[in-house]
A and B are shown apart, each in its own frame.
Chain A
Amino acid sequence: MHLAYPTVVAALLFSVGVYGVLARRNAILVLMSVELMLNAVNLNLVTFDMRFRDRLHGGQVLTLFTIVIAAAEVGLGLAIVLLVYRNRQNVDIDRLRSLAESDDAPDEETEPGPEPETVERAAP
C-alpha cells in the first residue's frame, strides 16, 4: 500500500482539527477538534508502525497510550468546562477574556503646568 494515502489523510484530518480549534467558540467543540488532531496523530503512528514493522510495536502501543491520555484529557477538559460554565453561565472561549489587558491603566498624562507668565516675578 502506498504510504502517501494514510499520511495525507492524517494531514487533512489534522488541518481540520486545527481549523476547529481556532474557529469554534464553544469549548466542547474545541475539545472535539482536539480529539480530531489526536486521531490524526494516531493514524500516523499506526501507519509508520506498519511501515517499519517494529518488533516492539512501539507505534501501536504508543497509539494505545495516546488514546488513554486523550480519554483522561477529555475527562479533565470537560470538568474544567463545567466549572467555567458553573461560574460564568457560558463556555464561549472568545468571551472568557480575563487575561486581556484592562483599560484602567493611567491614561493621558496630566495637563501641562502653568504658563510661564504666571512664574513669580521677583521685585528688584
Chain B
Amino acid sequence: MIWLASLAILLPFLAAFGGMLGGPSLGRLLGGRSALRDGPALIACAPVAVSLVLAAVVAFVVWQDPGERTGTLTVIDTGSVPIRVGLQVDGLSAVVALMVCCVALAVQVYSVAYMDGDRRYSSYAAFISLFTAAMLLVVFAGDLLVLYAGWEVMGICSYFLIGHRWEERANSRAAVKAFLVTRLGDAGFLIGIIVLGLGARTFEIHGVLSRVWTMPDATLTAAALLLLAGVAGKSAQFPLHTWLPDAMAGPTPISALIHAATMVAAGMYVVARLYGVFAAAPGALAVLGVVAVVSMVGAALAALAQDDLKRVLAYSTISQLAVMGAALAVGAKSAAVFHLLAHGAFKALLFLAAGCVIATTGSALLANHGGLRRGMPVTFWSMTAGFAALAGVPPFSGWFSKDSVIEAAQHAALHGGGTTEAGWFAYAPLNSTRHGEITGPPGGVAWLVYLGLLLTVALTAAYAMRAWLMVFFGEPRGTYEIREPSRIMTWTVAALAVPAAVLGFFGLGASELRPHPGPALLGIGLAILGAGTVFLVWNRDPASDPAAGLGPVRRVFARGFYVDELYAMAIVRPVQALARGVVRFDRRGVDAAVVASGRGARRLGGLLRIPQNGNPQTYLTGLLAGVVAITALAVIFR
C-alpha cells in the first residue's frame, strides 16, 4: 500500500529527471514526429499515466477497506525530534491523489498539442512531472517536514512554469511575484510546522493530531495561524492572493495544473489534513472564515469585471478556494474536500477549454471573442458543462458540492457549533476531541460566512454567465477562423467534462453531502438571479460587455480593488526606498571605508616605496648605518 503510494510519487519524479536529462535525446532516438514517438512527451505522459493507475488502485483499496495506513521509509535522527520520512494513506489522501493524477495526466496530454514546437517543451514537461510528484508527496506525506518538502518543491516549480516564457519581462516578473508572495506565506508555514512539531514532540501528522489536546491553547492558535499564513499564500487567499491573477502569464495548461487543481488546492488540503489542529483553535478558524469571506466576495466581484478570460478564471479560483476555506471554517471538512475535488475537475476543464479558445482566437481578451458556439462544438459543450458546474447549476458537480457547503454554513449559523464528522473523508483523531464535538466558529463569523456564501453564489453565476455569453454567443469580434484546435486538446477537454458533470453524484453516498431542499433551492434561486441579471443586461446589446453595466465601480473591480497598487504603495515603495538607502549607505559608508583604507594603504606603501629607488648606494648607506647603530648600542650597553 505504502509502496504503491511511494511508487506513484517516485514515477513522476524520475520522469522529471529523465525528461530534463534525456528528453530531447530520446526524441532524436525515436526519430518520429508523431505523438507516440515524441521522446519528451512520452517521458512526461507515461509515468503520470502509471501513477494514475496506481493512485486508482490505492483509492480502490481504501474505498474497500477504509482506514488509515502509515508507513515509515526511513527515520532521520536529528538529535531532538526525529523526522520520520513516511507516507500516510487514508480516504482523504487517496481521493485527492486520484484527482491530482487525473488532472496532471490531462494537462500533460493537452500540453503535447498545446506546446507543440516550443523550444523548451522538454524542461516544461519535466517541471510538470516534478510538480506532480511534489503535489503527490504533499498529499501522501505522513510527516509534516516531508509535506513541507513537497510544498516547497511545488513553489519552485510554479516559479519555473509561470516564467516558462521568460523572454517577456511581464512573465518573469509574474513568476518572481508568485514566488515571493507564496514564500512570504511559506515562512509562516515553516514556523508553524516547527511550533507544532516541537509542541507535540513529533512531526508525524498522525502523532501531532493525536496529541493536539495535550498542547496549550496558545501554542495551538499560534501554530494554526502560522499555518494559515502558508495556506493563504499557496491557496491565494486574501491578503496574499495577488500573485494568482498575474500568474496567468504562464502557458494555459500550467494555469490549469497549478492554479486550478493542484498547488492552490494544496493549501486547503493541508487545512483539511491538519483539521484537528484548526478544530482545536477556534480563533484560527474564525480568522480563516473572515479571510475566506473577504476572498470569495472580493474575488467574485473582481472576476465580474475582468477583461481577460484567464483572469476571470483566476479570480474565480480564488473565490472557489475561499468557498472551501469557508466550509472548513464552519467545520464542514467533508464538504470542503468534496468541493475541492469538484473544483479541481471543473476548473481544470475550464482552463483547458480556455486554452482551446485562446489557441483558436489568438487572444485571451474577452472583447476579442464571441460567436464561438458555431464551429467549436466540443469546446462549447465542455466549457458549458464547466461553467454550469462553476455556477452551481444542477445536476453538475459544483451544485452538489456548493450546496453541501451552504448547508453546513447554514447549520452553523442557525444552530451554532460545528457539524459532526463521519463518512468517507473522516479520519480517526477527530473523534477524540476534548469537548466531544468540534467547536464551531463564533456565531457572528458563521453568519458572515453564510451570507458571504450566498452572495458568492449569485456573483459566481453572474461572472460565469458573462464569460460564457461573451465567448460563445453574439457575433465574432475578431478576425479568426472558428474551428476546433488539435484533436488531442479537444479530446482531453471532452474527457475532463465527464467528471465535471457527474462527480457530484458521488456525494450522494455520504449523508452530510446530500443536497438538502432548503439551501439547494436558495442556491439555485440566487444563481438564477445572478445569471439572469447578466443575461438581461447582455440581451439588450449582445455586442457589448455586460460588465459595462457596473458603471464606475467596474474599474475598481477590474483592478482587483487596487490591492496591488496598495501593496506597491505600502510595501514595495518603502522597501525600495530602504534598499536604495542601504545601497547608498553601502557606497558612501561601508564601501567608502574599504576603498579609503585601500587607498590609505596604497599611500603608505608609496611612502615606503621612496627608499626602494634602485640605487644600491642608498641601500648600502641604510645597511651600514644600521650596522653602526647596532654596534654602537652593543658597545654602549655592554
Instruction: Indicate whether A117 reaches chain B with its CB closer than 8 angstroms.
Output: yes
Given contacts A112-B587, A116-B583, A124-B564, contact A21 B620 (CB under 8 A): yes
Q: Is A1 an interface residue (CB 8 A)?
A: no
Whole-angstrom distance between the Cβ of A35 and the nearest chain B Cβ: 16
A101:B587 contact, CB within 8 angstroms: no
- Counting chain A CB atoms within 10 Å of each CB, the highest count among B599, B616, B624 belongs to B616
Distance in angstroms between the alpha carbons of A18 and B624 in the assembled complex: 9
Q: Which size bracket describes the interface of B in this complex?
A: 20 to 34
Which of A96, A97, A116 meets B580, CB within 8 Å?
A: A116
Q: Given A122-B572, A124-B565, A101 and B609 touching (CB < 8 A)?
A: yes
**A121–B612 alpha-carbon span in the complex (Å):** 51
Any A CB within 8 A of the CB of B486? no
Whether A119 pairs with B580 at a CB distance below 8 angstroms is yes
Residues of chain A contacted by B624 (CB below 8 angstroms): 18, 22
Tell me if A123 counts as interface (CB < 8 A to partner B). yes
Question: Total A-B residue pairs with C-beta atoms closer than 8 Å?
Answer: 55
In chain A, residues 102-123, which have Cβ atoms closer than 8 Å to a Cβ of chain B?
108-109, 112-113, 115-117, 119, 121-123
Q: Is the interface of A mostly helix, strand, loop or mixed?
A: loop
Contact, CB under 8 Å: B615 / A93: yes
Q: How many Å from the CB of B602 to the closest CB on chain A?
A: 8
Given known A109-B598, A124-B572, contact A97–B620 (CB-CB < 8 A): no
Let me know if A99 is at the binding interface, CB within 8 A: yes
CB distance from B374 to the nearest CB of A (A): 41
Within 8 A of A (CB), among B497-546: none
Please classify how large the interface on chain A is, using the bins under 10, 10 to 19, 20 to 34, 35 or more.
Answer: 20 to 34
Within 8 A of A (CB), among B585-625: 587, 591, 595, 598-599, 609, 612-617, 620-621, 624
A93, B565: Cβ atoms closer than 8 Å:
no
Are A113 and B572 in contact, CB atoms less than 8 angstroms apart?
Answer: no
B173 interfacial contact with A, CB 8 Å: yes
* Known contacts A18-B624, A119-B583, A123-B173, A98 near B617 by CB under 8 Å: no
Is the CB–CB distance between B584 and A121 below 8 Å? no
A122 to B591: give the CA distance in the assembly, Å.
24
Give the residues in chain A near B572, CB-CB below 8 Å: 122, 124
Contacts of B567 in A (CB 8 A): 124
| A93, A108, A121, A124: residue with the most chain B Cβ atoms closer than 10 Å | A124
Binding site for A on B (CB under 8 A): 173, 564-565, 567-568, 572, 576, 579-580, 583-584, 587, 591, 595, 598-599, 609, 612-617, 620-621, 624
Q: A123-B173, A124-B564 are in contact. List 14 more A-B contacts (CB 8 A).
A: A22-B617, A22-B624, A93-B617, A96-B614, A98-B614, A99-B614, A100-B612, A101-B609, A112-B595, A116-B584, A121-B576, A122-B576, A124-B565, A124-B572
